[in-house]
A and B are shown apart, each in its own frame.
Chain A
Amino acid sequence: MYQNFSYIMLKRRLTLVGVAVFFVVAFITLTVRLTNIAKGSSLTAASLTMSNSRLSYKAQPTSGAINTSLITISGTTQPDINTGHLFPGDVVCFTDAGQNGCIGNTTYTVDSIVDGTHFNLNTPLTTAVDTSGWVIATQSGTWTIAFTNVAAVPIGGSLTVSIPMADNAKGANGIPDSSTTIASSGFDLGTIGPANVVISGCTPANWGVATIATGSGVVDHLITFTRSSGSCAASTAMVVTIGGPGVINPAPLVAPNHTQGVADVYGVTVTTKDGGGYTLDSAVPRAAPIEAVLVSATVDEALSFQVQGMTSGSPYCGNNASVSASATSIPWGHFTVTNGFVYADQQLTVSTNATSGYVVTLSESDQMGRNGNVCTGSTPSVGNYTFGTATCIRDTTCSPGGCTESVMSDWTDPVGYVGLGYSLASQSGTDAIFWYNQGARIFNAKALADIQGGKTAQAIMSNTGPVNGNSIYVCYKIAVPGTQPSGYYYNIAKYTATATF
């Protein structure tokens, strides 16, 4: 009886211990399991960078005949309802209503945008457009998805990138997806293969080759890496790159659900799981394709020429100007100095983007005639100021060696060599054809080319390439003999700036 009682007590105790052990084991197991599930937190620092965030273009053509290049598109109820997001140089193709690839497997290049619903191709159509189909300009690019895992991914675990696609089965036909809402639109994988998807971080070799499950329309595209060996420790930065031909961006949401210039924002889900398929971490970085902006500017070729008069006292060409010149006149005024030099300066400035440069020439209408009389010929008939019956201030000959409109000479003697002449000095650049102290001289001078005397305008400033604000001083110098008859003498000096042909 006693033995029976002891046996029963022992059995009860063992049962109690067994139940306790069971509960402890169950508690531990559930705790671990529940703890793992509780770790299904957010991946940190998750981001998605698109190398090309431009929306694809997708409009419905309403006309486009064979052997023509003008395309008209519909302005209503399409992803793109105008040409605002189509640019010269874009490659387009035409599809049928079923979006079964490019008709004739032919692409064209946009030549110009005519207006909001018309554009030109750079080659004529080889097949008439299908007006129930589409004209598309595909935009695609590489995706770089970066993130850091919170929980370790064990062997047999996985990493999955879920890319939204349009709610139809043509998620990898190379034609941009489109729909009326974000939820029902998405990205096309085109011809992306496993070799185009690469993972870095967490010993890449320990991840298996990516598997790509093209979406069905109901299920999105899934790209998965399985951890084949060695667990991936927590807090490891990883990057998944989807390259190759690139992910094809969707067209804008069908009008009126899209505003040009405002991105259509799609969520891309990144998830890590353990070997049992339980989610460890997840994040939803955003892909936000948007219209590109055509930045354009037209720079016209131009030649700009500026003449400035310099005030008296300006110290150019080795002398101070005696009189103030304006841009249109050298007012020698009333000569109080005879047998001496009088100076006046002007500054010429040229800018041009013409590739072969420019030239500025200088000529004079005639030598300085008294009261405008004609100074026939290029040299006085007698003495220094008599030109037949006319009286003039002559062009200088500078020196015994002589200067002309094309030959320079050092002009230092105001008594033996009277008249009008000029010299040059470069102010910015080296565009002066000659300069006043060239060859260690004091004032190299030339006479002005006398058009009345049959001379040809002479180059005084030039450059063989584009210039920006290149500048020279033109230093006029005059010496009048003491016997010069009184009177009012004048002529016209003409600057002509032309581009080089």
Chain B
Amino acid sequence: MFIVVCLEIGICCLKFAKPTFAQEVSLSISPPITEITIQPGKSFSQTFTVKNDGEPVVIVPAVLPFVPLDKEGHVELVEDQNSVTAFAGWFTFDPAPVSLGTTGSHDYYLKVSPPAGAEEKDYYFTFIAEVQNDNNLGFTNSQSQVRVGANILVNVSKDGNPQKKASIIKFAAPQLIDSFTGLTYEVLIGNSGYSFFKPIGKITVDQIFGSTSVLNLAPLNILVGGEREISCIQGENLIPCKLPGKFLIGIYRSNLSFTIDGNGESVEKQIYTIAFPFTILFGLIIVFIFYRAVRKSKS
């Protein structure tokens, strides 16, 4: 009887056992992105709050330049010492390691001060909070080091009105589609100006002699000299720019139009797509051939 009870308890324990975690590091940083337009020689202060929800850790701060990693808004940190030291004079913050207990947090006060002679253009940085690990554990291992970063987009401008210029690198959709495949757009916008911007606009899809649909572009940052794939936004969610509807037929005129940060002249491009029910036609042909074959065999 005792053994049965023990087995039952053991089975229950196994049944409700959750994955076990040896330890965790959990850091958060706020705000994750800061956008500044600032005159050379002036200062701007930002507070970054780093919070620890895991085991007690020691964190050290750093500011690193970054460049766009891809066309999706991801960053590639530039960690070579020359690049880091080139901007050392721009930032003032307490670099001392800080111990954070579980649920502890620390506010870093970062002062951004582009020198008076700084060139008028964009500069991109990431404020990093890095967990300090013990070195040399004494056995073969791969240490994991955790960092969380908040991006800082700095536009240095004397008059606060930098020239912003956008170009449509790609606005594409298939020219001929089946009625059931939907109509998906690729939008790639480039920045050939002197400051980052957000495109504010939409794709207007007119079916010739039919209805009009509107897809709103997501207002995503496009950095200077770069290009970015722009998705659409519906409510709070970023979604692919795809024409809703289960059955498309006829000629569709799609017009991409946006302004830079919601101001100035509209940048536009138009494309056309023909939707035809090829699958239905194909099915009818198959049925017709089958019918002919059956009739022929009977005769």
Contact = CB atoms under 8 A, between A and B. Distances in A.
Interface string B30-66: 1111000000000000000101011100000000001
B69 interface: yes
A298 B211 CA distance: 41
B275 interface: no
Contact of B148 (A305, A333, A459): A305
Sort A-B residue pairs by CB-CB distance and give the 5 closest, nearest first. A499-B32, A304-B28, A302-B30, A306-B26, A498-B149
Contacts of B238: 355-357, 464-465
B128 A324 contact: no
Contacts of A466: 236
Interface string B15-32: 000011111111111111
A488 B28 contact: no
A327 B24 CA distance: 5
A495 B142 contact: no
A449 B259 CA distance: 39
A358 B150 CA distance: 10
Contacts of B79: 451
A496 B141 CA distance: 19
A451 B81 CA distance: 13
Given A488-B139, A492-B145, A495-B144, A359 B74 contact: yes
Contact of B22 (A325, A361, A456): A325
Contacts of A355: 218, 236, 238
Nearest to A474: B144
Nearest to B137: A329
Interface in B70-101: 70, 72-77, 79
Given A368-B142, A497-B149, A309 B131 contact: no
17 contacts: A304-B148, A306-B25, A306-B53, A330-B142, A330-B144, A332-B140, A333-B140, A351-B28, A354-B32, A357-B238, A368-B140, A464-B231, A488-B140, A490-B143, A495-B144, A496-B149, A499-B33
A393 B134 CA distance: 21
A501 B185 CA distance: 22
A328 interface: yes
A359 B75 contact: yes
Given A302-B49, A328-B143, A351-B28, 17 more contacts: A302-B28, A302-B31, A305-B26, A305-B146, A305-B148, A306-B24, A306-B26, A310-B20, A329-B142, A331-B140, A349-B26, A352-B32, A490-B136, A490-B140, A497-B149, A498-B126, A499-B151
B217 interface: no
Contacts of B221: 356, 501
Contact of B141 (A332, A347, A497): A332
Q: Chain B at the A interface: mostly helix, strand, loop or mixed?
A: strand
Interface string A319-337: 0000011111111111100
A86 interface: no
A87 B134 CA distance: 52
Interface of B: 19-33, 49, 51, 53-55, 66, 68-70, 72-77, 79, 124, 126, 128, 131, 133-134, 136-151, 153, 196, 218, 220-221, 223, 231, 236-238
Q: Chain A at the B interface: mostly helix, strand, loop or mixed?
A: strand
Given A500-B72, A501-B33, A303 B28 contact: yes
Interface of A: 300-311, 314, 324-335, 346-347, 349, 351-352, 354-359, 361, 364, 368, 372, 393, 420, 451, 456-457, 459, 462, 464-466, 476, 487-501
Contacts of B220: 356
A424 to B, nearest CB: 15
Contacts of A495: 144-147
A309 B24 contact: yes
A334 to B, nearest CB: 7
Contacts of A358: 32
Contact of B140 (A349, A451, A476, A489): A489
A33 B119 CA distance: 98
Contacts of A327: 22-25, 54-55, 144, 146
Contacts of A361: 69, 74, 76
Contacts of A334: 139-140
Nearest to B149: A498
